[in-house]
Amino acid sequence: MAGAHWGFCPWLVLLCACAWSHPKPGDLGREDVRNCSANPPHLPVTAVNTTARLSALRQQIEAWNLSAYIIPDTDAHKSEYIGKHDERRAWITGFKGTAGTAVVTMRKAAVWTDSRYWTQAEREMDCNWDLHKEVGITLIVSWLLAEIPAGGRVGFDPFLISLDSWNSYDMNLQGSNIQLVSITTNLVDLVWGSERPLVPSEPIYALETAFTGSTWQEKVSNIRSQMQKHSKAPTAVLLTALDETAWLFNLRSSDIPYNPFFYSYTLLMDCSIRLFVNRSRFSPETLQYLNSGCTEPMCVQLEDYSQVRDSVQAYVSGDVRVWIGTQYTMYGLYEVIPEEKLVADTYSPVMITKAVKNSKEQALLKASHVRDAVAVIRYLVWLEKNVPKGTVDEFSGAEFMDQLRGKEDFFSGPSFQTISASGLNAALAHYSPTKELNRKLSSDEMYLVDSGGQYWDGTTDITRTVHWGTPSAFQKEAYTRVLMGNIDLSKLIFPAATSGRVLEAFARKALWDVGLNYGHGTGHGIGNFLCVHEWPVGFQTINIAMAKGMFTSIEPGYYHDGEFGIRIEDVALVVGAKTKYPGSYLTFEVVSFVPYDRNLIDVSLLSPEQLQHLNQYYQVIREKVGPELHRRQLLEEFEWLQRHTEPLSARAPHTASWASVLVASTLAILSWSS
């Protein structure tokens, strides 16, 4: 699991919000760290003065004849991570947390955010802002009904409100005589003015053929074929999520933190293609790659990014039907398409097609995970040597993890901010250390590291939890039961087309058996140099059914508030299963290749089948990663790998065969010196 912006990211809402976001007993009633009743108010030094910003925004609200203005925390593409220039809610409120909604009236200003961010919000907001500690559109509307009179007008930027959110606001305002007003000019942007960060303008480049599974022309032909077969015969597909366009054309850039995307839309029609983007970011070679100088069906016509709404509106004036995926289409485009010309499915055909990797894409992703395993193993070896010296903290550890990945071939950057959490911090869902605020790593505590990389051939995400000292019996049991859940789901055989939500309980059963659980989802899809959290694959209710060629994370956990946290995360490929009798069945092939912490495994809890599966996995790790360590002459890491992948047995759960390690190491030395 990766810590990330998730205000409009469905899988992360499900993953994080269940238990960790729920207020604990007494939390709702605790005192605000601000004292706004004092004169002058007592505020932390970290609070931001927003008086001038709010005054300017209220002038705009009045000028547009509004009673209130809604400021969500997203961008026009419902991206998981948003660029600095899209951090409107953070700028107007001073609160920099990555989840929240602000609403401003002529007299009041309020922010809604969940329990992960309460303290941060109190420390960063001044007394102009009321903090609401329970979230949801229903609660926001209730507040609006109490604050503005009948006949009031509530403004919003339609490019920042999803179709689902608009429906929820509209439904909750039914019968109130309060009107929702769509305004395509963003009022916060008007106030932000020249201080607003510029939109990124780095070059947009085409991936080399070696790192793509199909040409963009083959992908376009595939989607057009699906259009022709659709019962409602759409004449165009509108792509609004950034990874859709990046995938379709095999193009990448760096507009979004941690994701190699660029701001764009695509209108893929039966006989032409329109790509809405900043044309100046293309080199002549990339323009030629896109066949941008012609008007044939396989030529990409470039239009300015800002013209997408007008262009779609003009297109739907004809005898056409536009196919959209409602999960990622914002209201700003939806509202210009007449209902009778709309073909709406939950996900676009690109989103569904992208989820199933072809054989080349599978091979690329697997290769990236082998190199990534080398980086993680090097990190664990380094920790094992340096933590006992007392020289490593959470922040320096996270930095070193990123540095090690940076040495790997085809590395582009981290796929999310590394979660490096020691002791009680590991029980926090959204914890990220800073240079100023972090905790020393200790041999007396558990340590959780959740990290990933973006490589030209694939995206990675892996979590390991370790303990370098003597864990308690409860810590070992909890860890082992999390591992049992990981194994049980990884080795599960299930009918083809089974939904992930049906399978998810297998990852929890070992914990449920003793009254333990975890408050997040069990996994998410992952892309080929795309999203680290790739929708719509996973184990949640609205994920699509499992199919061969999909990649998903498997990441059960357990979190003991105030003491420790455990998560074991692997990425797995959905493959065909061999069964005794003929049938269409699937299972998982784990492609993360880093051993688990032997010090935390109570082998007596493992069933014979679980133990066999674990030892087989360790053999695969040796076969996949051992040769790579050998090739690079990483002797210390090779020895570590041999020790940590020794077969486990019920009789000797925590001892490795040093003789076999010595033999393997000696052979390695001889081969390297020859």
Q: What is the pLDDT of residues 462-471, one digit of tens each?
A: 999 999 999 9
Residue 664 has pLDDT above 80, yes or no: no
Cα separation, 160 vs 151, in Å, equals 24
Pair 414, 454: CB distance under 8 Å: yes
The rounded distance, in Å, linking the Cα atoms of 271 and 661 is: 63
Alpha carbon distance 530, 516 (integer Å):
34
pLDDT of residue 40: 86
Looking at 264-273, 324-333, 654-663, which range is the least confident one? Answer: 654-663
Average pLDDT over residues 493-498: 98
* Gap between the Cα atoms of 248 and 239, Å rounded: 10
Read off the tokens for 401: 């993890």
User: Of 159 and 121, which is predicted with more confidence?
Assistant: 159
Residue 674: pLDDT over 50? no
Mean confidence (pLDDT) of the chain: 92
Read off the pLDDT of residues 594-628 as tens digits, 9 standing for 90 and up: 999 999 999 999 999 999 999 999 999 999 999 99
Rg, C-alpha atoms of the chain: 26
The alpha helices in 102-239, defined as continuous H runs, are 118-124, 137-147, 163-172, 187-192, 216-229
Percent of the chain scoring above 70 in pLDDT: 92
Q: Which amino acid, residue 232?
A: K
pTM attached to this predicted model: 0.91
Q: What is the pLDDT of residue 618?
A: 99
- Mean pLDDT within 352-357: 99
- Mean pLDDT for the stretch of residues 479-501: 98
- pLDDT of residue 12 exceeding 90: no
Q: What digits encode the pLDDT tens for the residues 257-280?
A: 999 999 999 999 999 999 999 999
Of the candidates 433, 440, 408, which has an alpha carbon nearest to the alpha carbon of residue 418? 433
Distance CA 490, CA 258 (A): 27
What separation in angstroms does the CA of 351 have from each of 33, 42, 333, 543, 588?
Answer: 44, 50, 18, 12, 21
Is the pLDDT score of 571 beyond 70? yes
For residue 486, what pLDDT is reported?
99
For residue 330, pLDDT over 70 is answered with yes
Query: What is the C-alpha separation between 557 and 485, in angstroms, rounded?
Result: 9
For 297, what's the count of Cα atoms within 13 Å in the CB-facing half-sphere?
11
Q: How confident is the model at residue 43 (pLDDT cuts 50, 70, 90)?
A: confident
Dihedral, CA of residue 613, residue 617, residue 622 and residue 624, to nearest 10: 140
Please compute the mean of the pLDDT values over residues 577-602 and round it to a whole number: 98
pLDDT at 116: 75
Three-class secondary structure assignment of 475-540: HHHHHHHHHHHHHHHHCCCEECCCEHHHHHHHHCHHHHCCCCCCCCCCCEECCCCCCCCEEEEECC
Q: Band of the pLDDT at 193, cuts 50, 70, 90?
A: very high
Contact (CB, 8 A) for 461 and 376: no
- Whether residue 635 contacts residue 601, with contact meaning beta carbons closer than 8 Å, is answered with no
pLDDT at 429: 65
Tokens representing residue 243 in the block = 């990874």
